């Protein structure tokens, strides 16, 4: 995608040309080194990507491209995916991993595309007020694409979502603020708070040193952009690498503050857990106990989209420059939105049965958690969800979840299902922490520790994941022993390590 910088339009900011060119040269050199460390996999075929014309007045001068799985039923969800700078719709289609889940979960994809005619580096103009305000410019063109896709494919207007990388992520944040009546959820990947900048002069400040506004000040920017009287807001996932030097990690904190304030919830996470690829997930629940905001922080990841090439159910994408082999962000985002059919995605309408009450944890072991709840009249069965994903079905008002990791924390919710299969309202959540944890020791080079997610690198140095302890130069010659004392937490144990 190239850097997420907001390069000038050909008709604007001419006095900044020299400075921008110098910055581009430096940034391109640094980011080329980052891309060089990632193996490039085979590209997927773009045969399924189709351009759609005549989708409206198109004031933003964008082009519309779609991917629709064979036999897609009417009433399926719709996902809009915005590429980054120097990228294209086909590039994002081939490498982001989204088509895999469109096929698996049955939803349509729209890939808007901008060009150098709009922006010299083919970035979406997230920093231009005339392109990011409701009813104007590129923002309106994207809204018109949604309308066109709904008419062509019969998409469910309650389940429309938007995601984007870098400059596309900046535009995604703005679209969620300007059109909360259109989008049930969004994912901001290596991006910026909504309306952090409304002119080129402020864009670089947002990228490198975002304003330290209060949550209420950030939230006000969203509320002022949305239609008057808006009370329903999209569920937002935020993805950020800790080693991103193009869009500084502080932007993820400001994004969290912005969207938790919009939802009227605090900035203290409801739960935090470790995922693969050195990823830490923090979730912020709404008043019903469902995650409204998620923040994924990826240790040592530079600027780009998190992918995890492979054929496994949780893998996706193709590694390359600005597509970084860590974890499949598209998979986790799709689950957060409920596109996998778990019944907990924002925008889905539950059946008529009420939420079960009295959900309680009655016991845990190293690998199990046992739950009970009050029976719901008219329920034929109950769905049990772990961290928003359906993990089981039972006809009784109790369930034991098995195969869990030791010393780990999980959040559970339950929904009643009637005889016709309609899923009712999801219950409030309860947290379970399994007992025990068996420490494990690893001796390897700093390079291998980072590659395995036990450590991360920043500025050419390695640091232990979790503890952040310094390990020296990030290379194949420096060797350390790391002891894993909890999921996703490692300490240096060179003086002796007993598991």
Q: Which residues are catalytic?
A: 166
- Cα 401 from Cα 404, distance rounded (Å): 8
Q: Chain centroid to CA 336: how far?
A: 9
Q: Are 483 and 441 in contact (CB under 8 A)?
A: yes
Of 232, 52, 9, the C-alpha closest to 144 is 52
Q: Which two tokens stand for residue 129?
A: 């007020």
For residue 371, report the phi and psi dihedrals to the nearest 5 degrees. -125, 150
On the 0-12 / 13-18 / 19+ scale of CB atoms within 10 A, 57 is exposed
- Cα 275 from Cα 25, distance rounded (Å): 35
Q: Which two tokens stand for residue 415?
A: 């929904």
């Amino acid at each position: 995608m190239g850097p997420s910088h907001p390069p000038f339009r050909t008709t604007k900011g001419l006095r900044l040309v020299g400075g921008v060119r110098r910055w581009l040269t430096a940034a391109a050199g640094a980011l080329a080194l980052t891309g060089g460390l990632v193996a490039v996999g085979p590209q997927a075929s773009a045969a399924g990507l189709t351009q759609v014309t005549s989708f409206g007045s198109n004031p933003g001068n964008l082009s519309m491209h779609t991917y629709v799985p064979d036999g897609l039923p009417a009433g399926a969800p719709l996902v809009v995916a915005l590429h980054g700078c120097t990228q294209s719709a086909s590039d994002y289609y081939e490498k982001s991993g989204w088509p895999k889940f469109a096929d698996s979960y049955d939803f349509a994809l729209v890939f808007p595309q901008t060009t150098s005619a709009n922006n010299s580096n083919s970035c979406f103009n997230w920093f231009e007020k005339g392109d990011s305000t409701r009813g104007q410019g590129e923002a309106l063109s994207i809204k018109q694409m949604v309308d066109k896709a709904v008419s062509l494919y019969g998409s469910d207007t309650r389940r429309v979502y938007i995601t984007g990388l870098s400059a596309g992520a900046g535009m995604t944040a703005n679209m969620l603020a300007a059109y909360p009546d259109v989008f049930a959820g969004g994912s901001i990947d290596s991006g910026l708070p909504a309306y952090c900048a409304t002119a080129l002069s402020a864009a670089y400040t947002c990228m490198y040193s975002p304003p330290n506004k209060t949550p209420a000040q950030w939230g006000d920017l969203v509320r002022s952009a949305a239609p008057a009287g808006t009370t329903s807001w999209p569920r937002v996932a935020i993805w950020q690498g800790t080693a991103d030097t193009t869009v500084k990690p502080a932007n993820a904190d400001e994004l969290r503050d912005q969207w938790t304030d919009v939802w009227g919830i605090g900035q203290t996470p409801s739960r935090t857990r470790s995922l693969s690829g050195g990823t830490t997930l923090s979730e912020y629940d709404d008043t019903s106990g469902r995650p409204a905001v998620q923040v994924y922080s990826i240790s040592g990841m530079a600027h780009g989209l998190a992918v995890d090439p492979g054929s496994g159910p949780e893998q996706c994408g193709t590694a390359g420059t600005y597509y970084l082999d860590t974890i499949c962000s598209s998979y986790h985002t799709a689950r957060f939105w409920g596109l996998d059919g778990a019944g907990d995605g924002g925008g889905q309408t539950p059946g008529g049965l009420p939420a079960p009450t009295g959900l309680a944890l009655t016991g845990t072991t190293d690998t199990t958690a046992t739950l009970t709840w009050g029976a719901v009249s008219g329920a034929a069965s109950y769905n049990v969800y772990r961290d928003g994903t359906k993990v089981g079905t039972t006809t009784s008002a109790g369930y034991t979840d098995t195969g869990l990791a030791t010393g780990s924390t999980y959040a559970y919710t339950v929904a009643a299902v009637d005889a016709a299969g309609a899923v009712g309202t999801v219950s409030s959540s309860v947290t379970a922490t399994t007992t025990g944890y068996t420490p494990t020791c690893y001796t390897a080079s700093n390079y291998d520790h980072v590659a395995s997610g036990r450590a991360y690198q920043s500025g050419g140095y390695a640091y232990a994941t979790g503890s952040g302890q310094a390990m020296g130069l990030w290379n194949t010659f420096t060797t350390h022993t790391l002891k894993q004392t909890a999921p996703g937490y490692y300490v240096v144990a060179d003086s002796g390590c007993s598991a």
